[in-house]
Amino acid sequence: MASQITAPRGTRDLRPEETPAWNRVESVARDLARRYAFERIETPLFERVDLFARGLGESSDAVEKEMFRVSGAKGSEEEAAPWALRPEPTAGIVRAFIEHGMHVRPGPLRLTMIGPMFRYDRPQAGRYRQFSQWDVEVIGDAGPAVDAELVELGHRFYAEVGLTDVVARLNSIGDDACRPGYRDALIEYFAAHESRLSEDSRRRLRVNPLRVLDDKELPADLADGAPRGVDHLCVACREHFDALRALLDALGVRYELDHRLVRGLDYYTRTAFEFYVAGREGQQQALGGGGRYDGLVELLGGRPSPGIGFGIGLDRTILAMDEQEVTLPVRAPLVAVLGGGDDHLMRLRVAGGLREAGVAVRPDGSSRRLGKQLESAAKAGARWAVIVGEGDVMALKDLDSGAQRDGVSIHEVVAAVSE
């Protein structure tokens, strides 16, 4: 036997038994996108490495350690092409916004996408090399009302997929005016304790001291005593943050302040938030996260334009739904169309008629005995069997109760199975 080829490490197949959960999260996401007036955008799965390096920052994990490189065909001009699979969607969406001059459209623009992202990370529970996100972005709105709207939208998504106890953690990490002062304060504080920092943090301390705060190896007392971003905000950032909190409070949207929440990508300014199941706030547990990126459009070559968005991890959302044993809607009742003998044409005609009426149908394509066909229909999860006889005569069998009605018409079948 030939040796077996398995899926690449850190990737998963989506098996039919998992589809009810995936269908639920995707349909909730699409329906919320519609109700919140987002328009769909799609960008390529791979982009130039420079886009990510510039957009997410050279020192972000996504760029420094986790880039999945893509090259052109062997021997082609682009064999060593500087491309990478997208680790996240925001940089690509902002690139498209600039490239297509979308700033001339009546703004603010509200864009959304659902799709796979790729990070070459060490795989473990809830952390994959290919995972899916539902992403929303609002470009051209400085907030703070839209910030509140997005935190509220995140909450609504988790509630509508059936999760309970999801909390938003919230922070403000300032802007170009006040972040330098905060960075200096962090460097000064952590430099005095450098020997207690992990290797990663020591390396990052002077390049990106904010990231030291979310190092999971940071000793708790050092984390607790560290300068807090909210104490270093300039007047404009402070007012923005206060207004956001006031809106969330008035709307009754639950959140907790988290001074260590700095996000892992460099484009963030001001508002930063993440969603967790209460009590599961550890690393790799975030169900989703986002924030404001007021400098990103300009950084990528566009006219200055504020932006904010979030990405919800669909894989982790589904894991949480499994843990909370969220009940999923049962599949629409399946009807099997069976018949004795070789009259497949009749079975296909009946199946076609039922499908036209919106019924899910699985015709039996075999010439087995009727008893065998009934057995496998029940095993395949059919709720009803339509037994096609000679001419136009049909019987409808309830596979749960075993009751059978002879001489039914297509209309009667449709009416019975749609009840």
DSSP state of 299: H
The answer to whether 316 contacts ligand HAM (rule: CB under 6 A) is yes
Residue among 108, 181, 264, 340 that touches ligand HAM (CB under 6 A): 264
Q: Which is nearer to ligand HAM, 117 or 413 (CB)?
A: 117
| Total residue length of the chain | 419
Q: Which is nearer to ligand HAM, 50 or 406 (CB)?
A: 50
The answer to whether 128 contacts ligand HAM (rule: CB under 6 A) is yes
Half-sphere exposure of 380 (CA within 13 A, CB side): 18
The answer to whether 86 contacts ligand HAM (rule: CB under 6 A) is no
The answer to whether 286 contacts ligand HAM (rule: CB under 6 A) is yes
Return the percent helix, strand and coil in the chain, to nearest 5: 40, 20, 40
The answer to whether 135 contacts ligand HAM (rule: CB under 6 A) is yes
The answer to whether 359 contacts ligand HAM (rule: CB under 6 A) is no
Give the closest residue to 398 by CA, choosing from 310, 325, 336: 336
* 3-state SS assignment for residue 150: helix
Pick the stretch among 25-33, 86-94, 169-177, 365-373 that binds ligand HAM (CB under 6 A).
Answer: 86-94
Pick the stretch among 27-35, 303-311, 343-351, 402-410 that binds ligand HAM (CB under 6 A).
Answer: 303-311
Question: DSSP string spanning 63-113?
Answer: HHT---EE---TTSTTTT--EEE-S-SHHHHHHHHHHTTGGGSSSSEEEEE
The answer to whether 119 contacts ligand HAM (rule: CB under 6 A) is yes
Pick the stretch among 29-37, 120-128, 250-258, 375-383 that binds ligand HAM (CB under 6 A).
Answer: 120-128
Copy the structure tokens of residue 358.
């919106």
Q: How far is the CB of 158 from ligand HAM (least distance, A)?
A: 11
The answer to whether 289 contacts ligand HAM (rule: CB under 6 A) is yes
Q: Which is nearer to ligand HAM, 63 or 394 (CB)?
A: 63
The answer to whether 88 contacts ligand HAM (rule: CB under 6 A) is yes
- Residues contacting residue 32 through CB under 8 Å, at least 6 positions apart: 153, 156, 157, 160
Q: Which is nearer to ligand HAM, 66 or 200 (CB)?
A: 66
Pick the stretch among 17-25, 132-140, 205-213, 346-354 that binds ligand HAM (CB under 6 A).
Answer: 132-140
Contact 395, 386 (CB under 8 A): yes
The answer to whether 291 contacts ligand HAM (rule: CB under 6 A) is yes
Contact 320, 338 (CB under 8 A): no
DSSP state of 229: G
DSSP state of 302: S
Residue among 133, 208, 305, 373 that touches ligand HAM (CB under 6 A): 133
Q: How far is the CB of 128 from ligand HAM (least distance, A)?
A: 4
Q: How far is the CB of 290 from ligand HAM (least distance, A)?
A: 4
Copy the structure tokens of residue 416.
């019975």
The answer to whether 57 contacts ligand HAM (rule: CB under 6 A) is no
- Backbone φ and ψ of 43, nearest 5°: -125, 165
The 10 Å Cβ neighbour count of residue 200 is 15
The answer to whether 273 contacts ligand HAM (rule: CB under 6 A) is no
Whole-angstrom distance between the N-terminal and C-terminal Cα of the chain? Answer: 50
**Number of residues forming the site for ligand HAM (CB under 6 A):** 26
Pick the stretch among 72-80, 133-141, 180-188, 320-328 that binds ligand HAM (CB under 6 A).
Answer: 133-141
- Where would I find the beta strands (DSSP E) of 229-296? 255-257, 269-277, 288-292
Contact 217, 202 (CB under 8 A): no
Residues at the contact surface with ligand HAM, assessed by CB under 6 A:
88-90, 119, 121, 126-128, 131, 133, 135, 137, 264, 286-291, 293, 309-311, 313, 315-316
